[in-house]
Amino acid sequence: MKRIGMLTSGGDCQALNAAMRGVVKTLVFNDEEVEIYGFLDGYRGLIYGDYRMLTGKDFSGILTKGGTILGTSRTPFKTIKDPDENGLNKVEAMKHNYYKLNLDCLVILGGNGTHKTANLLRQEGLNIVTLPKTIDNDLYGTDMTFGFQSAVDIATNCIDCIHTTAASHSRVFIVEVMGHKVGWLTLNAGMASGADIILIPEIPYDLKEIVAAVERRKKNSHFTIIAVAEGAISKEDAKLSKKEYAKKLKESPYPSVSYELADKIGKATGQEVRVTVPGHTQRGGSPCPYDRVFASRLGSEAANLILKGEYGFMVGYRDREIVKVPLEEVAGKLKSVSPDARIVKEAKMLGICFGDGK
C-alpha cells in the first residue's frame, strides 16, 4: 500500500482539482492500493497536522470544479524557517507530520513560492513530487502551467466585452490584468482580444509613447484598448531601487498603475479614459477544456513517478511533451517575458504598442 499526502499551496486557480483527480485516478486504475491524506489550507495543514483521509468519492465530479477541495493559503518561503508565534519550528513540524503518517510521498501543487518550500522539504529527505500551478505562467522549468489558459480566456473575454462600449463612446479603456512580476497573462490576453497597447512589467513604458499611440488611434478609430499588467512600470520608476519604488507606491494617490495612466493619458489627450479591473475573476470559475486536459495529464504523470518511486521532480511541459524536472532546477527561478521574445516581436509587427518606442 502507498500512503500519499497531498496539498495545494499559494493562490487558488482553475484545474487544481482536475490535477489532483488525475493523480488519484491513475493510481487507482493501476490497481495500486493507496491511502490519500489531504492536508488542509496548504503548508499550514502540513505544519499543524490538519488533514483528512480522502476516498475515491472525494475526487468524483471535481474535474470541472474551480478552486481546490483542500483549501489553500500562502506560507511565505522567506519566513518558513522562522518559529511561529508559539515557537514551533515549522520545517521540523512538517517533517514530523510526514513521518507520523508514514507517507511514501507528498504531492504538492503550487507556484514559485510553493516550489521553494517543496525543494527545501526534498533537501530535508522527504519524497516530493510537484505539479506546476499558476495563472501567471511564470514557473521556471515548464512552458505551461495549469490555470494559465483559463485565466487568459477570462481576461480575453473581459477585454472583448470592453470593445463595444469603448467604440460606442469613443473612449480609451484600460483593462488591468493580473501579473505583478511577469506579463505572460497580459501579453496573451491582449493579443487575443486585439488590444492596441500592451504594457507588461518586463518592458518599462514611456508615457509619451503611449500618448502618441492613442493620438494615432484617434485619427481612425476614435477609441483605444490598453491591456495593462498590474505590475507594469514606467521607465522612470524602473530606475528606482526596490525600497524607493515601494515608498512611491505607498505614497501614491492612485489605487494602481492603471488609474495613474488613466489620469495622465486623459490630461494629455483630452479623451475620456476608463479603467476596468477584472481582478480575482481571472482565478475563478471552471477550468477551460485545455486546462482540464492539461492538468489531468500532469496528474497522471505525477502518479506514474510515484508508481516508479521517482521523487524530487516537478512534472512539467517542454516542447509539447510532459517531462520531469528536478526540483533544484525550478526552485527560486522566475520565467519572465523577454523583451526580445518572438511573441513580443510578432505583436509589434501587428502594430501593438508596448510603450517602449521600439
Supply the residues annotated as catalytic.
136
Distance between CA atoms of residues 334 and 141, nearest Å? 9
CA atoms of 87 and 85, how far apart (whole Å): 6
Round to whole Å and give the CA distance between 138 and 148.
Answer: 10
Q: How far apart are CA 94 and CA 108, in angstroms?
A: 13
- Determine the Cα–Cα distance for residues 350 and 163; give it in Å rounded to an integer: 18
**Residue 108: HSE in the Cβ half-sphere, 13 Å Cα cutoff:** 35
Q: Give buried/exposed letters for 66-98 (b at 16+ CB in 10 A, else e).
A: bbbbbbbbebebeebeeeeeeeeebbebbbebb
